[in-house]
Structure 1
Amino acid sequence: MNEIALSAGSVQYIDTGGGGPVVVLLHGLMMDASLWDSVIADLATDHRCIAPTLPLGAHRHPMDPGADLSLPGIASLVGEFLERLDLQNVVLVGNDTGGALVQLVIRDGAKRVGRVVLASCEAFDNLPPGLTGKTLALSSRLSPTLFGAFMQQLRLRAVRRMPMAFGALTKRGDATTARWIRPLLEQPEIRRDTVRMLRAAFADSNLLQDAANGLVDFDQPALILWAGDDRVMPVDHGRRLADLLPQADFATVEDSYTLIPLDQPAHLVRLIRQFAS
């Protein structure tokens, strides 16, 4: 695991190095870069894969107290990350809230992005997304201490598999989701960051609707992938995104909930590899 000091604080990231197209992979709320482990293990044979752990609730190092942890602020952090690593013409991939961040990066210019992949993500008015997002939005009104006490329930697999938790997001990835909650449960500073981030993330319900207006100006290739069994992100939103982006293709990935990298990594790799090359 690599680490880089950015304006908001230190960010850890995976970087496989090597040649081939550069693919940067963004995760969602309450997740870290390990969302992409199975994808990277395959895709890194002919691509340079980079996956940062963003301050979205499962990060290991607390952010600076004054850091902007709104979604636009974190999208700006992604842009800073690409610049600091001097990455050019990247394939920027986002799943879940990572896809919302990709949309915000596009809105802000995306000068280092050559192609984008949006995989089952928040869009338009789906913020907070589904029962999972609404549960996070409500619980973030608690103090960091009480929020941590509420999240202790996720130690139990039966609770993690409930629709209000990770049960509606992945069919097969429970072992991974169990690891994601550890920093939050163990570090008061991470709980502080997470509450602040969630409150900011859901403060503007029109954020992604406004961002969608800028998608028509992104004239690079785009691939919109949607989970066939998605229970959180409406498939109609995927088709609408594909209609907005001038050079977009749309495809579905069957037998998967929202977190396609956990439920169908091999299928996802085939689609990204074909698109990136």
Structure 2
Amino acid sequence: MGSGPVVLLLHGLACDHTTWNPVIESLARTHTVIAPDLLGHGQSDKPRADYSVGGYANGMRDLLTVLGIDSATVVGHSFGGGVAMQFAYQYPERTERLVLVGSGGLGPDVTPAIRAITTPGFHQIMGVLSVPGLRHATTAAMRVLSRTGVTQLRDLDEVADIYDSFKDPRTRAAIRHVVRAVVDWKGQIVTMADRAYLTEAMPICVVWGADDLVIPVAHASNASALAPTARVEIIPNAGHFPHKDHPERFVKIVRDFIRTTEPAQYDRERWRELLDDGADAVLAQAEAGRSPVAPLRAVRRAAGA
């Protein structure tokens, strides 16, 4: 939708492109907005396939190529943030900026509800819990509770949509594959901590809901330590879906970020130098005071690197 500089919106785990509905039209007034359903989600296919973050990054490269788009500002929410970071790592020449929204990949902590998807029997149990009568009653109750104004319940409308999607066994199988690729019983596996040094020339904006109960808002601090030039925006009175809780503010943040930053310029030689030096060399320089980065080894450990 729209025209202008391209913004690619990547939704979170078990969601689909409709999670961006509150902001798509507004963003499209000034930008070309692309909001796909990731593989295994929404109306996209749900084959037995590669559901790793690297596989998703490849898929987004292919999508942009088919659409004739060379590069984009990539906005990723939750699991989509992990995909966005992986896309920037694999295809820096096609990534103008990163916007990470309540993003995965910045620390191990995650809600137990997501960890539960990795447990044996999840597929069968959800098959029982998603029978029509029980599913309809439960999703209706969730949507009512989400409108009570109780902070801890504000995200239940989105949870209701996810629960409803589990009526499709292909969706349950796909989501199980996705979660097992990025989460184990200890929490998140995939992290940006060991590759954050590669983002030195990449404009990054981190947006988080202050009341996020899915991925702690403290992970935003990890992001600012790992990528010290990142712009961090904490939105009060918002949960795990700040783009739905405060769409106008979210659009303003994204639009201002794009307007006030230059697209990243891929320098192959500099990229080669960074890879050759490695993260430890960059961190050593930071800790020796030759870089504005705060001591990062503890942050890397906290983020799972």
- 2:100 match: secondary structure: strand
Return the offset for 1:226. Answer: 1.3
> How do 1:1-277 and structure 2 match up within 5 A?
16=1, 18-56=2-40, 58-65=41-48, 67-126=49-108, 129-138=110-119, 141-142=120-121, 144-152=123-131, 155=136, 156=138, 157-158=140-141, 171=154, 174=157, 177-185=159-167, 187-203=168-184, 207-209=189-191, 211-218=192-199, 219-245=201-227, 247-277=229-259
Return the offset for 1:206. Answer: 6.3
C-alpha distance in 1 between matches for 2:162 and 2:228: 36
How many residue pairs get aligned? The number is 250
Higher helix residue share? 2
Distance change in 2, residues 1:55/1:148 (3 Å): farther
Distance change in 2, residues 1:101/1:252 (3 Å): same
1:186-213 deviations in Å (ceiling 9; x for gaps): x33333323333333325956423x322
Report % sequence identity. 25
- 1:220 match: secondary structure: coil
C-alpha distance in 2 between matches for 1:142 and 1:160: 27
- 1:92 match: secondary structure: strand
* 8 Å contact from structure 2 (residues 85, 98) kept in 1: no
* 8 Å contact from structure 2 (residues 143, 156) kept in 1: no
Higher strand residue share? 1
- Per the alignment, residue 292 of structure 2 pairs with none
1:217-276 deviations in Å (ceiling 9; x for gaps): 121211111111122222221122123225311111111001112111111001011111
* 8 Å contact from structure 1 (residues 60, 190) kept in 2: no
* 8 Å contact from structure 1 (residues 72, 104) kept in 2: yes
1:140-180 deviations in Å (ceiling 9; x for gaps): x22634432234555414457899xxx98872671x55444
Identify the range of structure 1 (217-226 vs 71-80) with the bigger mean alpha-carbon deviation. Answer: 71-80
Distance change in 2, residues 1:29/1:90 (3 Å): same
- 1:252 match: secondary structure: strand
C-alpha distance in 2 between matches for 1:150 and 1:182: 10
- What is the CA RMSD across the aligned residues, in angstroms? 2.9
Distance change in 2, residues 1:31/1:90 (3 Å): same
- 2:30 match: secondary structure: coil
Distance change in 2, residues 1:106/1:30 (3 Å): same
Q: Could you list the runs of 5+ residues in structure 1 that have no partner in the other structure?
A: 1-15
- Structure 1-normalised TM-score? 0.78
Return the offset for 1:35. Answer: 0.5
C-alpha distance in 1 between matches for 2:152 and 2:101: 13
